[in-house]
Chains A and B, each alone.
Chain A
């Protein structure tokens, strides 16, 4: 029996879709059978981030309205055999999907997959309600900005009213030097306000944008900070205890020397 996890944030543009794609990839790398569901009807992106846009034939609305089976709408990832995507429709709007429809699809998929990751649209309206309906767990994504923390707080409040486990937090797009200088909210401040469990921190990395534009999730590359962060979160989802990443730049002996001589 699989587990359905919704990835949500309230505010737009904090990295829900990127997180979904990368956690899906990371879980697939750990040889779990994963299905990603895009519930952002009308504004689908997850297929683009995964580079699967050209493979879409049916979408989730076709499944709900019984024009096809869920297995027909599902797209197999080009890199893994155990990663699938159920894409959103681009022509309908959010009202085409209902919470009941979602519950039905997810309960059907749970028997086939280890993890079902649901990419939630921004906002707190119908789209959010649909995305949360079938989920067992929730991950809340926020960035170290006041506006995004505020929206995350609102979303956590709404999630607490749902019948799911207490949500976990991912802090995305951390710029270490700004956090240190106090120009960005630091992790402790965010945790104090939101007071839920932290499941991972992800550094802001240009490579993420590059990878997204190539339709290749960053988690696929082994050596960037962001990909390690996503892989760590995936391992924590599996129940492993992995220490939080140290975001400090490594200071080499040469750097120290340069500092001593005032060159940098």
Chain B
């Protein structure tokens, strides 16, 4: 196979494993083998199967967690994935989710969506008068004179990198990828 000239562009290849599973170490090894011996670079390795644990984590990450309670002052609700809270978040209370936060109730406390860095997360509430909204690492404080609004939603405006508020009904325009099924496909 040495007839490929030294200066020729490497060829990107895709390895299809079919219904086989290989570990990350094996993956590395495979890539190394190709890189050392031929003028190939493994672009990606595709397998029809994933570990059960990965699948469960994945499911956990995209599932909507439903809670039916009042988050009172001093209480913190931590959730992996999306949070659907039926109830209020009172001042001094806090809800944190790695995904989106939807509140069927009055948000008066702190809500932190995309807590592990997902900047496309949104926070929606039937009645929005939070002390603070946090999305990923961006924090916004409510204006000091704020009566709050019905059916509002906060998300990061990509152009200014700040949290902005809009009516929930307008969200479909800016975040059409919100629905879980579509997001799964994108992730996959």
Task: List residues of chain A with CB under 8 Å of any chain B CB.
Answer: 150-151, 153-154, 156-158, 160, 192-193, 195
| Chief secondary structure at chain B's binding surface | loop
Whether A150 pairs with B92 at a CB distance below 8 angstroms is yes
Residue of A nearest to B105 (CB): A195
Q: Are A192 and B74 in contact (CB under 8 A)?
A: no
In the complex formed, the residue of B with least CB distance to A149 is B91
Bound-state Cα–Cα, A160 to B93, Å: 15
Q: Across the two chains, which residue of chain B brings its CB closest to A196? A: B70
Given contacts A192-B106, A193-B108, contact A151 B88 (CB under 8 A): no
Tell whether, in the assembled complex, residue B106 and residue A154 are in contact, meaning their CB atoms are under 8 Å apart. Answer: no
CB distance from A68 to the nearest CB of B (A): 38
A-B contact pairs, 16 of them (CB 8 A): A150-B73, A150-B91, A151-B73, A153-B72, A153-B90, A153-B92, A156-B72, A157-B72, A157-B73, A157-B74, A157-B75, A157-B93, A158-B74, A160-B72, A193-B108, A195-B88
The residues of A that contact B88 with a CB separation of less than 8 Å are: 193, 195
In the complex, chain B residues whose CB is within 8 Å of the CB of A195: 70, 88
**Contacts A150-B91, A157-B73, A160-B72 given; 18 further ones with Cβ under 8 A?**
A153-B72, A153-B73, A153-B90, A153-B91, A153-B92, A153-B93, A154-B74, A154-B92, A157-B72, A157-B74, A157-B75, A157-B93, A192-B106, A193-B88, A193-B90, A193-B91, A195-B70, A195-B88
Closest A residue by C-beta to B87: A195
Q: In the complex the two chains form, what is the Cα distance from A157 to B93 in whole Å?
A: 10
Q: How far is the CA of A192 from the CA of B90 in the complex (A)?
A: 10
